[in-house]
Amino acid sequence: MKFDRNTVIGFAVLAVLFFGYFYYTNKEQSAYRQQKIREQFVKDSTEQANRPKIDTSTLQQDSLKSDSIGQLARSGDFRQAANGKEEILIVENAVFKIAFSSKGGQPKWVELKNFKNQDSGLVKLAGTDFDRLSYTINTGNNNTAQTGDLFFQPGQLVKNPDGSSSLSYTLGSADSTAASSIIHRYTIPRDEYMIGFSVVLNGADKLVSGGVMNLSWQYSAAPQESDMSFEKQNTQIGYVADGEFDYHTIGRRSDKTFEDPVKWVGVRQRFFFSSLVAKDNFSSGKMEWQVPPDNEKMIVRSTSAMKVPVAIASRATVDFSIYYGPSDYQLLKKYDLEFERLVNLGQGIYAFVRPLNKWIIMPIFDFMKSFVGSFGLAIALLTLFIRLLISPLTYSSYLSGAKMKALRPEIAGLKEKFGNDQQAMSMEQMKLFREAGVNPLGGCIPALLQIPIFFALYSFFNAEIGLRGAEFLWANDLSAFDDVIKFGFNIPLLGSHLSLFTITAVVTSFLISIYSMSMSPDQSNPVMKYLPYIFPVFLLFIFNNLPSALTWYYTVSNLITLALQFVIQNYIIDHNKILA
C-alpha cells in the first residue's frame, strides 16, 4: 500500500478536524454542566432558606435514644450487653499487632510489622468502621440481635508456653434461667499471620435456629500502593467451593452465590490478603463487593453472608481461622488451603505462563536474590540466565540475518527484473531463499519465544511482594513505576510522569531496531520499512505505568541483545564463508 503526499495531508486535516470537533463539543458540554450545577445550587439554596428551622441537635439526640431503646428491645436475654463502652485490647506477635474490641468480641484492626504503607507507617488491614465479623443469635421473645452490636465482657489474655497467646471474650445472658452464653476464643500464634477463632455456644439449640449460624464478614481493602488504579486492577475475590478454587477480578462482577460447601472466602489486594476459613466448611452463602470511586480512597468493600452448620445441642463449638497478612506465594502455600493460587503468577488467558513462573522463574530468582542480596541485580542476573538459555536460537536468528544480508545483491536484481509484479517477485525470492538455505522467518523465533517469557515476568513482577519498597538506582520501589520526571499535569495515554527506566527500555529498543534493519534486505513496503522504528515509540506509552522491575528487565535484555549481536556478528559468524 502506497501513501502519496496528498493522502497524508488529507488524513492529517481530517485528524485535526476530528480533534477540534471533540474538543469544542466537550467544552460546550462542560459549560452546560457547570451552568446546570449553578442553577441547581441556587434552587437548593432557595429551598433550604425557605424551609422551617429544625433543631438538628435535638433530632440527633432523639434518634440516638430511639436506637438505644430499639437495641435494648432486640437484645432480649442479653439486654445487659446492649449498651456499654468499647474496650480495645492489643495483642502482638513477631509479625503483626492486632487490636480486639469488646464490642462484638472481634478483631478491630491489624498492623503488619514487616511492611510499610505509603506514609512510612505500618500497613493496616481491616481498620475501618465498615469492617465487622458478626452473626445472628436468638435473644428470646422472637427477637434476634447481631453479636457485632453487643458488648462482651473485657477480654482475658493468657500467654501460652509455646509462645502463642489466647484471648477470650464472654457474652452472658441476663436471664439465669436461660443459661445461654457465648465465648469467643482467639489463638494468636508466635510468628504466624493466621489466627484461630472459635465460637462456643452454650445453649446452641436456643441461640441459633435450625442448626445454622448466619455469619456476616465485612471487609474493606484500603489502598496500600502508590498507584490506586493499578492496585484495583490487581485486586481479586477468591474462594474454594466444593473443593475447587476460583476467583473473580473485582471490576468484572460484583457478587457470587454459593450453593455448595465453601472452605474459605478471601480478598487479595496486589500484595496483601485477608481470608475467613471455616474448619468444617460453610454450607452455602453469598459474597458481594463494591468498588468505590477513587475519591473515597478505598479499593473494595466486600460482604460475605455465609451459613455455618451448628450442632443442635446444649453446647456447640464452631471453629474458624482468619488470615491477615502478605500475599506471599511461599508463605500461603504452607497453609495447604490453596491460598497461593490467588497469587497472580499467570491467570485467565495468561494461565499458560504459571508453570513457567512456578518451576523456572521463581526458583532462579530466589537463588539469584540470595546470592547477590539486591533485587535489581537479581533481576539483571535472571535476565542474563534467560538470554543465555535461548542463545542457541538467538545465534540461529543472527545466522539467518547474515544470510539475508549476503543475498541483498540477488534480491536487488530480482526487483529490477520483475519491477512491480509483486507476485512473481515473491515467488522468485522464496525460491532464492530455499536454494541458499535461508529461513526468512528464522529471525522471528527468538522474538516469539520471548513473548511467553515477558508475560510470565509481567505476572511475576506484579505479584512478587519482595519487590515492594525495594530500591534500585533511581527507583524507590521496583514494584511501581519510577516517576523521576514529573509533569505536574496529565498527558493522555502517558500519565503525569515519565519513567526513566521506560526511557532506557525505549532507547535500547530503538538501537536494536536500527541494527536489525541494517541486517535486513531493503523493504519496498513503507509500513514494514518503518515499523521497527515505530515500535519503540509504542513502548513508551505501554511501559510508562508498569513496574520498574519489568522495564529494568527489558532494558537489561536489550543490552544483552546488543552485546550478543556484536559478538556473534563480528567474532562467531564467518561472513565470507556465508557469501561463498
pLDDT confidence of residue 436:
65
pLDDT higher than 80, residue 469: yes
**Contact criterion met (CB below 8 Å) for 372 and 362:** no
Distances from the Cα of 62 to the Cα of 56, 58, 75, 345, 420, angstroms: 10, 6, 20, 55, 91
Q: What percent of the chain has pLDDT over 70?
A: 72
**Lookup result for grid cell 451459613:** 307
Better-predicted residue by pLDDT, 294 or 427: 294
Q: What percent of the chain has pLDDT over 90?
A: 40
pLDDT higher than 80, residue 399: no
Can you say how many angstroms the Cα of residue 451 is from the centroid of all Cα atoms in its chain? Answer: 21
- Rounded distance between C-alpha atoms, residue 504 and residue 91, angstroms: 48
pLDDT higher than 80, residue 238: yes
**Contact criterion met (CB below 8 Å) for 256 and 286:** yes
Q: Render pLDDT for 91-133 as a digit per residue (tens, 0 to 9).
A: 999 999 999 999 999 999 999 999 998 888 899 999 899 999 9
pLDDT confidence of residue 133:
95
- Rounded distance between C-alpha atoms, residue 69 and residue 462, angstroms: 51
pLDDT confidence of residue 543:
87
Q: Tell me what the mean pLDDT of segment 430-439 comes to.
A: 67
pLDDT confidence of residue 93:
93
Distances from the Cα of 261 to the Cα of 265, 279, 323, 335, 431, angstroms: 11, 11, 20, 19, 64
- Rounded distance between C-alpha atoms, residue 160 and residue 384, angstroms: 50
- Rounded distance between C-alpha atoms, residue 293 and residue 295, angstroms: 6
Q: What is the SS3 assignment for 492? A: coil
In this structure, which amino acid lies at residue 454?
F
pTM for this entry: 0.78
Nearest Cα residue to 278 out of 237, 302, 308: 308
**Lookup result for grid cell 497472580:** 344
- Rounded distance between C-alpha atoms, residue 181 and residue 171, angstroms: 6
